[in-house]
Amino acid sequence: MKKVLIILCLLSLPVLFSTHIPPNIFYPAGFISLTIPIFIGVLILSFFYFIFNKSWWSILPIFIITIFWSLISSSFSFHQQDTSNNRENSIRLISYNVQGFIDDTGIKTITERQTEISDWIDSLNADIICLQEVTDQANLDRLLSGYQSFFSGKTNPDNSRLGVIILSRFPIVNSGSIEFAFNSFNRSAWADIAVGKDTIRVMNVHLKSYNFKDYKGWKKITNMRNALQARSYHARLLTRFIQNSPYPVILCGDFNETSNSYVYQKLKTSLNNSFEHAGKFYQHSFKLGPIPFRIDHIFADTRFTVLEYNTHYECHWSDHYPIDVTLKLEK
C-alpha cells in the first residue's frame, strides 16, 4: 500500500497541472483531468487505511489532498445563501437545456412540452431566461409573453432551427452570436440588457457534447478527444470576448464540462462561478447513467453578489435539470 501511495504522490503534480493545459494543444491533458475525482477518492481511502493502521503515512495523502483543495472546493459548495429580504434591484436568471422540447416517451408533442416548460418558467417569475437546444423559438415568444428575445441557431434539414435563446423582461439594447464552427449547432448568443441605469451582458452558451449515444467502441474515444479539443478552443474564444466586454458579464449554459476541467478553470480566471458562492454541497445538473455531473453553470462578473442558487430536480422534461440564480450588481 505504501508503494501505491508513493506512486499516487508522484502522479499528483501532472494530474493537478492537467487542468491548466488546453486540450486543443495537448489533448491527453483533457483525459487526465477526467481522472481527478477518482484520484482524490483513492487518496481519501488511503488516508483512512493508514489512520486505521495507526501509521504516520496518513500525513502524506492529507498533504496531497490539500494541494488538490482548490479543485475540491470547485466541486462542492458549503456557503450559506443570503436569507435576507433585501432583494431590491436583484436579477433572477434561469439556465436550462430543454433537449429540443422532445419527450423521450413519445407521449407529448413538442408544442405540449413547450407549454409545460413555459408554464413552469412563468411560475418562477424569472427576469432573464437562457435556454439551450431550442427549436421553433417563435412558439416561445408566444408562450412567454412580456419578454424580449434573441435567438441564434442553425437550420436543420427539415427547415426547423436548433440553437440557444435569451429572453429578458428588461430591454435588449444589442445582441449577437459567436459561431464556434460553420457546421456546428454549438454556439454562444449574447445580449446587452438595460437593467435600470446599468447595462449588463448576458451570454448563453452550448458547448460541444461527447455524443456517446451516436457512436460505439473506439469511436467513442475519438469523439471524446474531439469534444475536449473543441471545448477548450471555445473557452479561449469566450474568455477573450468576456475580457473585451464593456459591461459586467453573466455567462451561463450547458458547458458539458465539470469543475475539474481546463474549460471551467479557464473561465474562472475572468468570472466567479455562482454555485461556489451560494450552492448546496454538490447539486448535479445531469446524469450519465447513475453517475451525477454538474455540467451546467452560471458564471458572473465579480461585481455581482450571488444571493441564491437552485437546481430544480422536480423538472424531468429533459436529460438536464434547470438551474437558476439570484444576482445583485453592486455599485
Domains of the chain, residue spans: 2-75, 90-329
Grid coordinates belonging to 38: 477518482
Residues of the chain with pLDDT under 50: none
**Cβ–Cβ < 8 Å for 329, 94:** no
User: What is the per-residue pLDDT across 239-279, written as a single tens digit (0 to 9) for each?
Assistant: 999 999 999 999 999 999 999 899 999 999 889 999 989 88
What is d(CA 216, CA 204) in angstroms, rounded to the nearest whole number? 31
Distance in angstroms (rounded) separating the CA atoms of residues 199 and 179: 24
Cβ partners under 8 Å of residue 263, min gap 6: 207, 231, 232, 234, 235, 255, 257
Measured between alpha carbons, how far is 30 from 18 in angstroms, rounded to an integer?
7
Q: Is 198 exposed, middle or buried (0-12, 13-18, 19+ CB in 10 A)?
A: middle
Q: Look-up: residue for cell 464593456? A: 246
Nearest to 230 by CA among 215, 213, 212, 210: 210
- Report residue 257 as a C-alpha cell: 464540462
β partners of residue 288? 291
**Residue 212: predicted pLDDT:** 66
Q: Please state which CATH number belongs to domain 90-329.
A: 3.60.10.10
Burial annotation 133-156 (CB, 10 A radius, 16+ → b, else e): bbbebebbeebbeebbbbbbbeee
- Rounded Cα–Cα distance for residues 53 and 307 (Å): 45
Is the Cβ–Cβ distance between 115 and 152 less than 8 Å?
no
User: What's the confidence (pLDDT) of residue 137?
Assistant: 64
Q: For residues 94 and 305, what is the distance between their CA atoms, to the nearest angstrom?
A: 16
| Cell reading at 280 | 448546496
Burial 182-194 (b: 16+ CB within 10 A, else e): eeebbbbbbbbbe
Looking at residue 193, its pLDDT comes to: 97
